[in-house]
Amino acid sequence: MRELTLLAQLTDTHVTDPATTEVLYADHNGRLAAAVASINTESPRVDAVIATGDLAQWGAPREYEELIELLAPLSAPVLPLSGNHDEGKRLRSCFPDHPWADAEHSSWVTNVGKVRIVGLDSTRAGESGAELDAERLEWLDVALSADHAGPTLLAMHHPPFKSGIDWMDEGGFVGLDSFIEVISAHRIDRILCGHLHRPMTAVVGGHLAEVGPSTAVHVELDLATDAPRRVILDPIGYRLLAVSPDDTEHVEDARWNIVGHTRYVDTGRAAFEPDWSN
């Protein structure tokens, strides 16, 4: 039987308080429930679910209670990361057994089968953009330097590249050049991100970085410099990463084969401009 580790990535679930009066453009909680139900029916079974941040809409206690209820049916363990919409300490308290690095930031390292997954907290307090200061970069360098025979995945909420959708890039990424310097010195088999609310890929520091689809709503793909802040209810879903030993003899040093898939679980709707005032 072939050796396979199957990982799902959920991102930007933006779970809401069921009693919210906020104007929503999609049923975030219902859409997450649909994704969870779908993950549970994957065959072969998913070994772990990486949740790359913005798990709650505003970081409120009731939202996290709802998040835990929505994730409870998963048969695979959840590996959570904080996003700019999350409240880091509250998120950590929902997952008390998770191997958090320390009390100050929500980073972690864990192994799933032979796959090492490094979760890096890229949030900047009170801001939508990313920040990796010297302390977090030192932590990352140490984590990536530890001996490991299998593949390494790096998961983080903010993508380390500009999307070209200007209004999504406005938050910026403090410490990006230093981050790229650190990761360039290590073998990383895939970087998994969220935050951008639509799937995309880029190569950063010699590594493939991928953004997963949000389960809540997407932003419109509009690369014009004056693009309006439009949201679109594209079909939502989650990523699946199938990790197996590479038996391709003609590719030198290709020790692991990591194939990324996207599973769609809901249908879409045309683009529209939401009411940003609430």
Q: Which stretch binds Fe ion (CB under 5 A): 6-14, 198-206, 240-248, 255-263?
A: 6-14
Question: In terms of CB distance, is 28 or 195 closer to Fe ion?
Answer: 195
**Looking only at residues 40 through 59 of this chain, which bind Fe ion when binding is defined by CB under 5 A?**
54
Q: How far is CA 236 from the centre of its chain?
A: 14
Tell how strand 5-10 and strand 237-245 pair up.
Answer: antiparallel
Candidates 9-17, 42-50, 67-75, 242-250: pick the segment binding Fe ion (CB under 5 A): 9-17
Q: Is 195 in the site for Fe ion (CB under 5 A)?
A: yes
Residue, CB closest to Fe ion: 54
* Shortest Å distance, C-beta 159 to Fe ion: 10
The CB density around residue 56, as the number of other CB atoms within 10 Å, is 28
The SS3 call for residue 261 is: strand
- In whole angstroms, what is the distance from residue 179 CA to residue 205 CA? 9
Determine, following the binding rule CB under 5 A, whether residue 218 of this chain makes contact with Fe ion: no
Contact set for Fe ion, span 61-120 (CB under 5 A):
83-84
Range in contact with Fe ion (rule: CB under 5 A) among 43-51, 95-103, 145-153, 194-202: 194-202
Nearer to Fe ion among residue 88 and residue 151 (C-beta): 88
Strands 5-10 and 207-211: unpaired
- 């040093």: which residue's tokens? 253
Residue type, 252: E
Task: Return the CA Rg of the chain.
Answer: 18
Identify the residue among 9, 12, 26, 119 touching Fe ion (CB under 5 A). Answer: 12
121 binds Fe ion (CB under 5 A): no
Taking the mean position of all CA atoms in its chain, how far away is CA 94?
17
Binding site residues, Fe ion, CB under 5 A = 12, 54, 83-84, 195
